[in-house]
């Protein structure tokens, strides 16, 4: 099982989302999203890194992507951003039967729900909840059609523990999670993960293949 740590960085408690991007790159835990689970059908793999850390009440993730296409046609939260140039974070507290999925296109538009499975008991987060998810996209927030070329972009997000079903005053030792890079609706569809997924066809909604994130004090 894939494992990594989530360091506690005190400076994140009072940092703005743009400043937190710098802090994460300097002191966060760095990982790579590089597993081609369905390489025969979907061999394309953008170079994708992420840096992760936490404050007292939130998880911070900075994604860094380099690839040969870029698309962001969706600008309203809860739009199907997985069709755009997209990065994702799925997480599940130990001992629960539900997980949360947070999906972001490259301009920071977010789709997020709490659920039991791909189509089971899916509960979208409210508008009020979505506003608590802070985002800092390096390329701005304006939507655009797919472009060809070589592109580099970054996205930093802050997700409150509360949305993940975690009590920030009583953090668990660990949670289950996976990280993804995809772009289902583009001319270069791809489905890349941090922790391996052993299914016949692309399916990110498989918590049995989540890795572990270990909280550090």
57-102 pLDDT tens trace:
999 999 999 999 999 999 999 999 999 999 999 999 988 999 999 9
Strand bridging mode 144-160 / 134-137: antiparallel
- The DSSP result for 190-212, as a single string, is -EEESS----SS--S--GGG-EE
- 40 pLDDT band, cuts 50/70/90, is very high
Q: Which H helix or E strand runs over 17? A: helix 17-27
Give me the CATH code for the 3-215 domain, please.
2.60.40.1190
Phi, psi at residue 19, to the nearest 5°?
A: -70, -35
Question: Domain limits of the chain?
Answer: 3-215
Statement: the pTM of the whole predicted model exceeds 0.95 = yes
Query: How would you class 160 by CB atoms within 10 Å of its CB: exposed for 0-12, middle for 13-18, buried for 19 or more?
Result: middle
Write a three-state SS string for 118-178: CCCCCEECCHHHHHCCEEEECCCCCCEEEEEEEEEEEEEEEEEHHHHCCCCCCCCCEEEEE
153-211 pLDDT tens trace:
999 999 999 999 999 999 999 999 999 999 999 999 999 999 999 999 999 999 999 99
- In percent, how much of the chain has pLDDT > 70? 100
Task: Classify 59 as helix, strand or coil.
Answer: strand
């Amino acid at each position: 099982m894939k494992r990594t740590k989530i360091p506690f960085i005190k400076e994140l408690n009072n940092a703005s989302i743009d400043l937190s991007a710098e802090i994460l790159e300097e002191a966060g835990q760095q990982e790579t999203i590089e597993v081609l689970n369905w390489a025969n059908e979907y061999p394309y793999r953008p170079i994708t890194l992420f840096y992760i850390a936490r404050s007292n009440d939130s998880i911070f993730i900075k994604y860094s992507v380099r690839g040969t296409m870029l698309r962001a046609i969706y600008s309203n939260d809860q739009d199907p951003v997985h069709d755009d140039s997209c990065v994702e974070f799925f997480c599940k507290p130990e001992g629960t039967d539900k997980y949360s999925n947070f999906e972001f296109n490259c301009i920071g538009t977010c789709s997020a729900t709490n659920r039991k499975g791909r189509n089971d008991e899916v509960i979208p987060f409210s508008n009020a909840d979505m506003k608590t998810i802070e985002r800092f996209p390096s390329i701005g927030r304006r939507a655009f059609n797919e472009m060809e070329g070589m592109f580099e972009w970054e996205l930093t997000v802050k997700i409150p523990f509360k949305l993940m079903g975690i009590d920030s005053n009583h953090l668990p030792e660990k949670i289950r999670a996976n990280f993804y890079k995809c772009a289902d609706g583009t001319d270069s569809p791809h489905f890349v993960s941090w922790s391996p997924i052993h299914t016949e066809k692309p399916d990110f909604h498989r918590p049995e293949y989540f890795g572990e994130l270990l909280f550090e004090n």
